[in-house]
Amino acid sequence: MDQPELNPSIIGVGIDLADVARIDSMLKKYGNAFLEKTFAECEILYCKKRAFPAMHFAARFAAKEAAVKALGTGFCGGINPKSVWIENDGLGAPIARFDSAFQSKMDALGAKKLCVSITHLKDYAQAIAIISR
C-alpha cells in the first residue's frame, strides 16, 4: 500500500550508523589508499586535525551513506563515496557538497537541497540526510 505524501517538498530521507572501530580498522589496514578512495581532501585534513580522527571519519562516512540513501541510488550509477563530501560552516555545522554526477541525480528528481546532520560518540557516528525541492 502506498503511503500518503506528508510533505511534498521532501524527496528523500536517508540515515546511517557507522561503527567507529570499523572505520579505525580500515584506516589502520589500508591507510591513505582508503582515505583517498573514500574522502575528499578537505575531509581528510579536517579529520586528521581532530583528537580522535576515526570518529570524525566515521561521521563523514555515515553522512555519505545517508546522502546516497536519500538520493535513492546507493553507491552505483556513477555515484561513489567521493561524490558527496562534508564541509563545515563558520559555526561548525555540516554542509554537504557534491559532484556533477550527484547533481545530475538531484536534477532528475527536481531536488534543490541536501541537508545533513551528524552526531558521534566514542563508538558510533550517525548521520541523517534530507533531500528536498
Task: Tell me which H or E stretch contains 66.
Answer: helix 53-71
Homologous superfamily (CATH) of 10-132 is 4'-phosphopantetheinyl transferase domain (3.90.470.20)
DSSP 44-112: HHHHHTSSSHHHHHHHHHHHHHHHHHHHT--S-TT--GGGEEEEE-TTS-EEEEE-HHHHHHHHHHT--
Residue 91 has which C-alpha cell? 559555526
89 with 32: CB under 8 angstroms? no
Residue 102 has which C-alpha cell? 550527484
pLDDT of residue 8: 78
pLDDT of residue 34: 98
Low-confidence ranges of the chain (pLDDT < 50): none
**Global confidence as pTM:** 0.92
Residue 129 has which C-alpha cell? 540526510
Distance CA 28, CA 5 (A): 44
**Strands lying side by side in the sheet with 124-132:** 10-19, 124-132, 113-120
pLDDT of residue 6: 63
What is the DSSP code (8-state) at residue 32? H
